């Protein structure tokens, strides 16, 4: 138990003693009622101490529960790494924040850049009329063109990268891709079982 948790426990116990003493004095002629109310207050205070002492564990549990329900939810691990679970289609999707806007990506190590579709580009404030589709990419579906852009920032979990290269795809695409221009900024990444772990 940390010093903060110990101090909180001592404070709660002192409060419990004061409340119990007050109840007994107030209901001194009705001992049964005093005991009942004292029991209620003891339960409430002990529950508060328990929640406070294990608040970080509850936070981790909440993140992992959300990740199970929505695989694109990012888990911030104790060692500073970030992880996501694989979706039912076998791909890894990550919820990010770009220029203050929520954007969902599919991780694609075969993409050299962060590739965003036009709908996402408009959402994060890119003027589509100013784009020049001068980059050429070769994909499984053939040759496509993209317009180079710079993203002011992209946030994944607790990790933020500023001023990063990206491309707006000229053709319609139903998802945006988190490619190597992002992954190369990391210290490393690993796929193990159904979990993708990123080390900022």
Q: What is the pLDDT of residue 146?
A: 95
Assigned fold of 70-199: Cathepsin D, subunit A; domain 1 (2.40.70)
pLDDT score of 179: 92
Q: What is the pLDDT of residue 79?
A: 87
Q: In the prediction, which pLDDT does 190 show?
A: 92
Give me 36's structure tokens. Answer: 């009942």
pLDDT at 166: 95
* Overall pTM > 0.75: no
What local confidence, expressed as pLDDT, does residue 189 receive? Answer: 92
- Kindly give, in sequence order, each residue whose CB lies less than 8 Å from that of residue 68, ignoring residues fewer than 6 positions away: 85
Plot region of 199 (φ>0 → left; ψ -120 to 50 → alpha; else → beta) = beta
- pLDDT, residue 59, reads 46
pLDDT averaged per 10 residues in sequence order, the chain, 200 residues: 54 62 58 62 65 50 47 78 88 92 92 93 95 87 90 91 94 91 92 90
Q: How open is the CA angle 195-199-200, to the nearest 5 degrees?
A: 135
Rounded distance between C-alpha atoms, residue 54 and residue 49, angstroms = 9
DSSP E strands, the chain = 75-76, 82-85, 93-98, 101-107, 114-116, 135-139, 142-156, 159-169, 176-178, 188-192, 195-199
- At residue 81, φ and ψ (nearest 5 deg) are -80, 170
pLDDT at position 167 is 95
In the chain, domain spans: 3-53, 70-199
pLDDT at 88: 85
Beta strand pairing status for 135-139 and 195-199?
unpaired
């Amino acid at each position: 138990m940390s010093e903060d948790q110990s101090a909180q426990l001592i404070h709660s116990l002192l409060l419990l003693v004061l409340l119990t003493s007050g109840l007994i004095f107030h209901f001194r002629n009705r001992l049964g009622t005093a005991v009942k109310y004292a029991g209620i207050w003891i339960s409430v205070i002990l529950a508060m101490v328990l929640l406070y002492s294990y608040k970080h564990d509850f936070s981790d549990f909440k993140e992992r529960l959300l990740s199970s329900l929505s695989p694109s939810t990012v888990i911030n691990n104790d060692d500073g790494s970030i992880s996501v679970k694989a979706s039912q289609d076998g791909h890894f999707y990550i919820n990010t924040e770009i220029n203050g806007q929520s954007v969902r990506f599919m991780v694609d190590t075969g993409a050299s850049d962060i590739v965003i579709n036009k709908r996402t580009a408009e959402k994060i404030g890119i003027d589509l009329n100013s784009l020049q589709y001068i980059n050429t990419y070769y994909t499984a579906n053939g040759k496509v063109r993209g317009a180079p852009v710079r993203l002011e920032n992209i946030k994944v979990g607790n990790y933020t990268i500023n001023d990063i290269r990206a491309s707006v795809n000229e053709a319609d695409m139903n998802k945006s891709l988190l490619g190597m221009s992002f992954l190369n900024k990391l210290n490393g990444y690993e796929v193990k079982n159904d979990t993708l772990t990123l080390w900022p």
